[in-house]
Structure 1
Amino acid sequence: MAELEKTAAVDVATTFPRFSSLPAELRLIIWRFALPRRVFEIRRETVCLKQDGEVDVTEDVDHDSWRIRSSDLVAVQLAPPALLNVCREARKFALRSGSWRCVGSHPRGVNRVIRMATWFDPRTDILCFDDSASQLLTRRVTERNGLVTEYTNNPAITRMYFAGSPASPVCVSLAALAGSSGKFLVEQWQRKRGFWSGVPRYLFYHDSILMHLGRSPKVEEFFGKGVDRCHTLLVDAQDYAKLRRLRDLYVEESDSSFFQRRVADWLEDIINLDEGYSEQSYLDLRNLWLKAQDDVSSSAPILSTDQASAQMRSLIEPGAVLHTIQQFNHDDPWCRNVIKAMPDMQLVVHFRLCITNHDESLED
């Protein structure tokens, strides 16, 4: 009897045959919550690992099509959500703002160029990039839809392809503000119709963690599954409960050959309020924003002329030096005015799921 009751409870929890009888307003709300919340990362090097009719060279990964690769960190272009294949009403809802977006092209053979595209929905997806998306290749200045660009491979160029629909949230790494791309982003912020125009929410991250995990239910709880999987996860730095769960996930399920104790301890430090992680991250953000200005008045607001008093953590290994961050006197009138005009940016922690499925079954 108890077993029958348990089975019935499962049926009630997982099926709802009278869904079509719900009012249209309720059905639309359900479809909205069913859309995946994903992050599209813009990275510099774009490669295709598989073409129709070619030998499959991705036997150890659980997805195919296009990938964007830089070093050993790989971000995946987003596939159409599973909601498109549920029914006509769900498909119509998903197509209201989500669609294929061109993000560039890639040479393939002689006199052949392959158009690259990603699915993107500005209502639910976030556009994210770091310093790897910018190269110092000077070209003539171009302008399109109010966006002035000096570098052909600047991440803002990809933003052009998204300009035909409502702007999405944008997340930028501190590393992207440390060099020439930082000056570009600051300059665009000062324009009425620059890169930041219409962006509903601004985010930034100081640190990134690469997760070498399998595809267990616990992993899918965070990153999703199938076409709705998001290989990049941005977690509010104040969401200590979720950060702790991700820390436990890293400790319990990370591939032993890739597991690093210091990364787990590093995550514990982020959660520890006494470490002042958020305070230091915002301090670094303000200093990098100040450094990216073209009109630094004098050396008076600069505290560390040798640029060696602070360090920025690596995107791969915590504690490694990526950039030195010049310190400014934030009480200086010029600094106060610049900081006051900065965008209000939310601090997040960046997690990237390795495209390789590290389930033990694949190793057997």
Structure 2
Amino acid sequence: MSAKGFPKFQDLPVELRLMIWSFCIPRCRVYEMDLARTDEHLTFPAGAERPRELWASPSGRIPIISRVCREAREVVQKSHFYLTGEEAQTDEDGVPYPPWDAWNTNKPVRLRKGFDVVHLHWHRGYDRHVYLPGAPNPWPSFQWLAKRAAAASLSAESLHPFNYDGNNKAFSPSTTIGYEEVEYFSPQVLYYVVLAIVELHMSDSEAAEAQVFGALGEEPIQLVDPRDTASVRRFRDVWRCRQSRPPSEEPDLAEFFSRATDSAGAFCERVEQWRQELEKVWMWHKCLQLSVPGDVLAEIWAEPAGPAGAPIFGFPTVPSRPIHWTRRELNRQHPWVQTQLGLMPRFEPVLMFRHCNNMCGIAGAGP
């Protein structure tokens, strides 16, 4: 038998052949609703000398296996693809998809209902562009898709920014949602919160050979638990061994992998600190949304030993100055706080590794 063929394949029972074809379909893929803008959403690691641009990924491409034969193509077509964007359909409950006609929206892609993950880069800072009109609010569309996907994903900037050194001080409308948008989050949906976006530049053949972006390189966006040091090391090793670009050209990534792997203990502690801060941010939102009385607020928020920014509830929407969340104490034993934390959606911190086959991020290189 030829090393490149399996002539007895057609002799297998049809049920077995269909099962084999189905195993070749990409696993869960991450579908990006929008593009990240370079000047408002920088790829991490923080402290890089210059921003790294993000480009659309091929997550929505039809699987390669569909090109093999008609039988394989039929298996792909029956794999419960669910169209979004202009071609989206009404769901089983009769609720239509609320289209989001934004200037940074990708073309509709094939999102598999209950299987893929929908990701949103957008945050309020996108409205600050001086050369483009304000972006329409994407949350109704995101909410609709999130309830039908396997899970939802959003940037940490939409909730609470993440920095390696722990100096997360600001919680302002340019980097977070407004308290009135808390209602868009559902306790029934799993939300991945992307702490850092790490782009690995390599050719498609390198990605397929590396096996970190799917068996055939068809899963170009991977969400990894930042505390899973072994998986992060796998991406680091792939980054080091590429042929298309030497690691010396990307010192910012070298810094990221050093912190996430060589100093994994401190990095995981920082992630846990961020998680606790996020709970404080969520409680702050809920207090505003539910108009908690002042006497209850005094019981929920203990006064810090020193100044911690503007009074949290001095203004109807946001504080006038940054809040030092690490110095703002939340009374977690308070019955109201415990109830709200129990109702809080499940937010899981992740790192986003993106495969890019372009030479972006290098001075003088084209996208």
TM-score over 0.5 for the pair: yes
User: Letter of the aligned partner of 2:353 in structure 1?
Assistant: F
Counterpart pick for 1:291 among 275, 284, 295:
284
Counterpart pick for 2:113 among 122, 127, 137:
122
* Pair 43,106 (structure 1): closer, same or farther in 2 beyond 3 Å: closer
Query: Which residue number corresponds to residue 54 of structure 1?
Result: none
Query: Which residue number corresponds to residue 267 of structure 1?
Result: 260
User: Letter of the aligned partner of 2:138 in structure 1?
Assistant: N
CA distance in 1 between counterparts of 2:140 and 2:202 reads 31
* Pair 182,215 (structure 1): closer, same or farther in 2 beyond 3 Å: farther
* Pair 280,20 (structure 1): closer, same or farther in 2 beyond 3 Å: farther
* Pair 175,105 (structure 1): closer, same or farther in 2 beyond 3 Å: closer
Query: Which residue number corresponds to residue 72 of structure 1?
Result: 53
Stretches of structure 2 lacking an aligned partner (at least 5 in a row)? 38-50, 87-99, 129-134, 161-172, 311-321
Stretches of structure 1 lacking an aligned partner (at least 5 in a row)? 1-7, 47-69, 108-113, 138-150, 190-195, 309-321
CA distance in 1 between counterparts of 2:21 and 2:11 reads 15
* Pair 175,302 (structure 1): closer, same or farther in 2 beyond 3 Å: farther
| Percent sequence identity over aligned pairs | 24
CA distance in 2 between counterparts of 1:82 and 1:292 reads 45
CA distance in 2 between counterparts of 1:88 and 1:197 reads 42
Query: Which residue number corresponds to residue 23 of structure 1?
Result: 13
- Looking at secondary structure, tell me which structure has more strand per residue: 1
| Offset, 1:233 | 1.5
Show CA shifts across 1:190-240 (max 9, x none).
xxxxxx4874x43223232233444453665222598x6343221133433
The number of aligned residues is 286
Query: Which residue number corresponds to residue 34 of structure 1?
Result: 24
CA distance in 1 between counterparts of 2:17 and 2:196 reads 39
CA distance in 1 between counterparts of 2:179 and 2:7 reads 56
| 1:208-219 aligned within 5 A | 208-215=197-204, 217=206
* Pair 44,213 (structure 1): closer, same or farther in 2 beyond 3 Å: closer
Query: Which residue number corresponds to residue 221 of structure 2?
Result: 232
* Pair 213,15 (structure 1): closer, same or farther in 2 beyond 3 Å: same
Q: Which region of structure 1 is more displaced relative to structure 2, 331-340 or 347-356?
A: 347-356
User: Letter of the aligned partner of 1:335 in structure 2?
Assistant: V
* Pair 332,122 (structure 1): closer, same or farther in 2 beyond 3 Å: same
TM-score (norm 1): 0.63
Which consecutive aligned stretches of 4+ in structure 1 deviate over 6 angstroms post-superposition?
none
**Looking at both structures, which has the greater relative contact order when contacts are Cα pairs under 8 Å and sequence separation is at least 6?**
2
Q: Which region of structure 1 is more displaced relative to structure 2, 126-135 or 299-308?
A: 299-308
2:108 aligns to what SS in structure 1?
strand
CA distance in 2 between counterparts of 1:33 and 1:345 reads 30
Show CA shifts across 1:248-298 (max 9, x none).
233444553223332121221574378424422431332232232213551
CA distance in 1 between counterparts of 2:219 and 2:188 reads 24
TM-score (norm 2): 0.62
CA distance in 1 between counterparts of 2:335 and 2:221 reads 39
